[in-house]
Amino acid sequence: MILISLISFLIDESNDPLWKRALIAFEDVAEVYKAKWGSPAVIIYDNVNLLINDDPKILDILQDDAKKNADKCKYIAVFVSSEGAVPRRMEKRSAWSRAKQPPIEIGDLSKEESMKYLTEKRKINEKALELYELVGGRIIELTAVADYFLAGQSFEEIKKKTLYEAKKKFESAKLLKNQTHYEAGKQVINALLNSKEIDSDVFREIFTNEEEYNEVLKANVFAYHPSRGGTVSFQSRLIENYIRENSNIFVDLINLTPTNEFNSNYASTSKS
């Protein structure tokens, strides 16, 4: 029966998009699975953050379908995202009422874990500390800089490349000079340089409307933390380092005294 359902999905010539046909096929399979084993099947939607920009309505449909099937105890849906804009959107919809647990956040690696990854797994000893201090323990960025270094790029080349990637996020969020959210963004940056996190309500009030709030949040300059009661922080150490490296852009916000001036060690204001 399960095999027949999957074959039917593969040969289905309807005009429905492939993802919708796959979902219908999975619902059929989940029903058979529960009848046979007495427990609901589990489906994992990975990288759903990709839908936020490309087609957020698909995410809404998947969430509604997850709610419907949770009510029927047919299957359990797990949504995996690397961006805070996804839980923000999902929390605001009525289907969120069926979420049995608050979102689980997988945080950055600690300094010790990051150094172990670089020195033991990637066999990088020279410049390992500098690489960590550039991007922190965010595994995606840590892996990227390790790849660059092992490909023969110098630390200065890696620094230039990664800071440019950070700049593109600021451009996407329209937070640079002469961009739409520059002034509001400065207020948020100033607050976060003085405090590790701020309440999302404070973050929202700084921007003109909900649309601006969501536009800035989904650009990955800032991170939303539903598991911490809905707070906002810098998305990564790299973002924080970009701000300090380009203090001329945010100069009225940063008190660069001899004791806190950003130096070659990439000191971070983030608390351990």
The predicted pLDDT at position 208 comes to 81
Q: Under DSSP, is residue 55 helix (H, G, I), strand (E, B) or coil?
A: coil
pLDDT above 90 (res 268): no
Q: What pLDDT, in 10s, does the model give residues 46-78? A: 999 889 878 899 999 999 999 999 888 899 999
Q: State yes or no: pLDDT of 159 exceeds 90.
A: yes
Q: Record the tokens describing residue 20, joined without a space.
A: 């919708």
Q: Which span out of 83-87, 113-117, 180-184, 217-221 was modeled with the highest average pLDDT?
A: 113-117
> In this predicted structure, what is the pLDDT of residue 267?
35
pLDDT > 90: percent of the chain? 54
**Once rounded to an integer, what is the mean pLDDT over residues 190-214?**
89
Residue 203: band (very low, low, confident or very high) from pLDDT cuts 50, 70, 90: very high
- Domain residues of the chain, as ranges? 2-98, 111-245
pTM of the entire structure?
A: 0.75
**Tell me: the pLDDT tens digits for 110-120?**
999 999 999 99
pLDDT tens readout for residues 209-231: 888 888 898 899 999 988 888 89
